[in-house]
């Protein structure tokens, strides 16, 4: 089955890597491979790859920079489709058109160069627009839903592209319509507001300072769990006495309990066991069941 897929990809000159090392891609840095990593260069190739996988009954996942995504084990048995090469964007009259693989930081920079802002808080989130829309990413009181106008979503099983607006995306805390369906975000438009470049740069710096309590210079996927009510998951994890607790090479950050870090040699099993231990301990202490914010392949 993989060889037939590889032949189809070769015919179409679509970039792919069999037995790809995805540990080097994930920001958590745990060792893992995938059956194949496909890297389409535009939305047309992305749709083609999705169709091929559906036609051949091969499981797949669409990923961006893997800044909040980790493999479940040492090998992902399907196709990983990486969108970082699909990254065209442009700005016109305060509206940004961007493709799914654009980094959030590049969109902030594009806006600032034209005198438009409103998404400065997203600058330090190391993900792509596609991932941000999928999970309604946010920081410091700003979420992608605040600026999202419309976008195109492809549904592989139905072989159709649907144009959706903000309301149809059904955004909520770290969720969207995409996180409850099998649609793949292709591209979309964001609405920015007029601001001077100096003001934008000042806000970027202010948000950077606010994030100083987060672990730096370590391998991590960012916030491991979603907020629990009005309080962060880190609040409960810290008060459950788990800051610095580790299983194998995976550790609850000593800087911010909401983060799991790879202190060296962590495996997927280490991380998953630590996640379950945290959830169990927090539930025992506070009766609160934490929900993962990270994505697990």
| 110 plus 223 within the same structural domain | no
| Full-model pTM | 0.93
Statement to judge: residues 69 and 160 lie in one domain: no
Specify the number of domains making up the chain: 3
Same domain, 37 and 56: yes
pLDDT tens digit string along 216-267?
Answer: 889 999 999 999 988 999 999 999 999 999 999 999 999 999 999 999 999 9
Show which of 82, 99, 133 is a domain's final residue: 82
Whether 192 and 219 map to the same domain: the answer is no
Domain region containing 107 = 89-210
122 and 71, same domain (yes or no): no
Cα–Cα nearest to 294, from 269, 267, 275, 273: 275
pLDDT per residue, tens digit, the chain (297 aa), is: 578 899 999 999 999 999 999 998 999 999 999 999 999 999 999 999 999 999 989 999 999 999 999 988 899 999 999 999 999 999 999 999 999 999 999 999 999 999 999 999 999 999 999 999 999 999 888 999 999 999 999 999 999 999 999 999 999 999 999 988 889 999 999 999 999 999 999 999 988 887 778 888 899 999 999 999 889 999 999 999 999 999 999 999 999 999 999 999 999 999 999 999 999 999 999 999 999 999 999
End of a domain among 184, 210, 236?
Answer: 210
Q: Where are the beta strands (DSSP E) in 64-183?
A: 69-70, 75-82, 89-92, 95-99, 116-117, 138-139, 142-143, 148-155, 160-165
Q: Are residues 226 and 245 in the same domain?
A: yes
Same domain, 172 and 266: no
Catalytic residue positions, numbered: 174, 223, 293
Looking at the structure, do residues 111 and 190 belong to the same domain, yes or no? yes
Give the end of a domain, one of 82, 117, 136.
Answer: 82
Q: What is the CATH number of the domain that holds 50?
A: 3.30.43.10
* Same domain for 187 and 102: yes
């Amino acid at each position: 089955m993989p060889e037939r897929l590889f032949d189809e990809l070769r015919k179409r000159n679509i970039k792919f890597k069999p037995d790809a090392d995805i540990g080097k891609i994930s920001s958590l840095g745990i060792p893992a491979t995938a059956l194949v990593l496909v890297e389409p260069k535009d939305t047309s190739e992305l749709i083609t790859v999705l169709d091929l996988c559906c036609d051949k009954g091969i499981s797949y996942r669409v990923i961006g920079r893997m800044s909040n995504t980790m493999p479940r084990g040492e090998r992902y048995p399907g196709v990983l489709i990486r969108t970082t090469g699909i990254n065209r964007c442009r700005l016109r009259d305060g509206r940004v058109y961007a493709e799914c693989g654009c980094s959030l930081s590049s969109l902030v920079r594009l806006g600032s160069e034209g005198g438009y802002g409103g998404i400065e808080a997203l600058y330090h989130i190391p993900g792509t627009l596609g991932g941000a829309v999928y999970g309604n990413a946010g920081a410091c009181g700003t979420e992608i839903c605040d600026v999202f106008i419309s976008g195109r979503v492809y549904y592989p099983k139905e072989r159709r592209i649907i144009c959706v607006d903000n309301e149809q995306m059904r955004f909520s805390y770290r969720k969207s319509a995409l996180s409850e369906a099998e649609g793949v975000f292709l591209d979309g438009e964001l609405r920015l507001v007029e601001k001077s470049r100096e003001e934008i740069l000042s806000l970027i710096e202010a948000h950077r300072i606010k994030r100083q309590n987060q672990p730096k210079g370590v391998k991590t996927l960012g916030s491991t769990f979603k907020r629990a009510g009005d309080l962060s998951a880190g609040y409960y994890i810290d008060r459950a006495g788990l800051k610095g607790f580790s299983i194998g090479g995976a550790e609850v950050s000593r800087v911010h309990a909401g983060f799991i870090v790879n202190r060296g040699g962590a495996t997927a099993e280490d991380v998953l066991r630590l996640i379950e231990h945290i959830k169990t301990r927090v539930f025992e202490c506070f009766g609160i069941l934490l929900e993962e914010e990270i994505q697990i392949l």
